[in-house]
Amino acid sequence: MTRRTFIQHGLISASALILMPSAVASEPQVMTVTGPIAPEHMGFTLPHEHIMSIFGGQPSRIARYDEEKLFATAIPYLKMLKVFGVQTICECTGAYFGRRVDLLRRISQATGMQMLTNTGYYGAAHDRYVPEHAFHETVDQIAQRWIDEWEHGIDGTDIRPGFIKIGVDPGMPSDIDAKLIWAAGKTHLKTGLTIVSHTSGSTDAAVEQVAMLEERGVHPSAWVWAHAQHVKDSADLPPVARAGAWIGLDGIGDKTLMHHLDVLRALRRFGVLHRVLLSHDGNSFRHGNRPFKPYNAIFDQFIPLMKKANFTDADIHLITVENPRKAFAIRIRKTQPQMNADERR
């Protein structure tokens, strides 16, 4: 029986969740680029956006931007989003494709928008943005680099990651993808940071990650299936949601509204709205002359459509406020150790 059939039969979803306080605080907290906040202060959250990236360009450890242009583009836009009620953005641009935590902090301070940045490496896009050292280092060594960013700050600043961002290519994980998944699991068990994984439409890659993490003691509720809207069959999503994982429906824009609404309706039918995250995967400052990818359709267009489709205010609050708060609160989420045969008798 493959892992896919396992999860479809619900056999993987039985593991109980054990919550542990993270190493730094007994109360769960959320880490923003300007410091820790209480999860209740996240408010309306966009859990997967990019303020800027160099995606499509050459990988670079510390990306350079035309800062004046970046600020002139991002700051007024974010101020507008704040007026519409967005309070927190999880910035998913990873190391080597444009993460600049110093600039994010300046933008956060200039706009009052709370922002989370990330640690981790992005192994999708055929590993183009995975740094050389990750190919020859051990899982422990890679995890230690990420844990160091949590403990000491990123790129010489005191800015700490608010989550772990990884990416994998479709299908069964390659060697390097497996390393990144395990390193993310190790980092989670040490820090309590949530793992956001660019997995896209590959159910095999999703199920395999959940299983690999569970085998190492990480509960699925510490894992977000990013870009899950790309699955061929929405029926693949509920078993993974029921196992406890977060289903990231990002990529909402003008042209995808009906598709996203269909997926969301399916998830409502399956009774798993409490595991759903909604975002645009927007980007206000991209590499080269790539156009601005807006991230305002959720409140301009999508929420009105949800209301027409009889989603209640409570549903909308659940998805845009409560789910992100639970998903990104820093807590070590362990699986219950499997009972051995003697105990079971």
Which residues sit at the interface with Zn ion, rule CB under 5 A? 92, 281
Start-end of H helices in the chain? 3-8, 67-83, 101-111, 132-136, 139-152, 175-191, 203-215, 237-242, 257-269, 297, 303-308, 313-317, 323-328, 341-344
Residue 174 DSSP label = P
CB of 279 to Zn ion, least distance (A): 8
CB of 262 to Zn ion, least distance (A): 21
Residue closer to Zn ion (CB basis): 190 or 293: 293
Which has the closest alpha carbon to 131: 172, 79, 173, 94? 94
CB of 227 to Zn ion, least distance (A): 7
CB of 230 to Zn ion, least distance (A): 12
Residue written as token pair 């997926």: 263
CA 164 – CA 122 distance, rounded (Å) = 10
Residue closer to Zn ion (CB basis): 92 or 222: 92
CB of 161 within 8 A of CB of 31? yes
Residue closer to Zn ion (CB basis): 51 or 243: 51
Residue closer to Zn ion (CB basis): 236 or 281: 281
Residue written as token pair 């969301």: 264
Residue closer to Zn ion (CB basis): 186 or 227: 227
- Cβ burial of 128 (10 Å; 0-12, 13-18, 19+) is middle
CB of 55 to Zn ion, least distance (A): 8
